Amino acid sequence: MKKIKLHGFNNLTKSLNFCIYDIYYTNSKIEKNEYIKYINKKYNAEKLTKILKKTCNIIGAKILNIAKQNYKPHGASVTILISEENKEKKYKNKKIVNKLLIHLDKSHICVHTYPESHPKEKISTFRVDIELSTCGVISPLKTLNYFIKKLKSNIITIDYKIRGFTRDIKGKKIFIDHKIYSIQNYINKKIKKLYDMTDINIYRENIFHTKMMLKYINFKKNFLNKKNINKKKKKKIISSIWKEMKEIYYGKNI
């Protein structure tokens, strides 16, 4: 797309919401406790911060502030305030400029985790919500393949929305500054082969939605205790995981 000559700063806000689900088979109270330990180890605030820092590098953003928190008995959240420019500029009064960056040029990326277990059935479902909101020319869509490869999840739902408007040098309003027909256009072909995918797009409102479900279950990943599993039990476990995946993917209880 031809670069648009703008009147002042690009005021468009681009928001990417990324929700992933991992399903685990937890046969007993001991296995549920092992599941919680595993989640706390793999998705604690420190490790999530590393993932978000890498994301900032991908989109070329400068980190202004990081807030992170681990929760008891499980769960974590991280919020990073970012600006469009990765390199610092020299100003006479840095304190004033930093305040302006926070209020005017700011964007943010945050993550929250939600581990839970079914009260009766032997299924535990872990959810991670990631929200990346940017303004200016930064595109959050550049982070899609990194997140998908890094988290390797059973179910992924992605929402992308462009809000507000900016003006060109003649004063004409611009409600979107890049071509997009589907979020899937930004996902690697190798990744797309692994998932069943559906789209819901509202082009007039610049709202794009994609839902993804793994075509094949990785038994080793979804069942933490792999000892003494015969074929019959393995089949039952896989059936339970599939049921949970389909309910999340289709948004209804089966």
pLDDT digits (tens, 9 = 90+) for 60-116: 888 888 888 888 777 889 988 887 654 444 434 444 333 333 333 458 889 898 888
Reported pTM: 0.83
For residue 190, what are its two tokens? 């190798």
Higher pLDDT, 8 or 146: 146
Confidence at 155, pLDDT banded by 50, 70, 90: very high
Confidence at 200, pLDDT banded by 50, 70, 90: very high
Residue 33: predicted pLDDT: 83
* pLDDT for residue 223 is more than 80: no
Q: Measured between alpha carbons, how far is residue 99 from residues 67, 94, 180 in Å?
A: 17, 9, 34
Confidence at 135, pLDDT banded by 50, 70, 90: confident
Catalytic residues: 107, 112, 135
How many CB atoms are located within 10 Å of the residue 151 CB?
17
The string of pLDDT tens digits covering residues 177-189 is 888 999 999 999 9
* Integer Cα distance of 254 and 165 in angstroms: 42
* pLDDT for residue 171 is more than 60: yes
Mean pLDDT of 33-44: 85
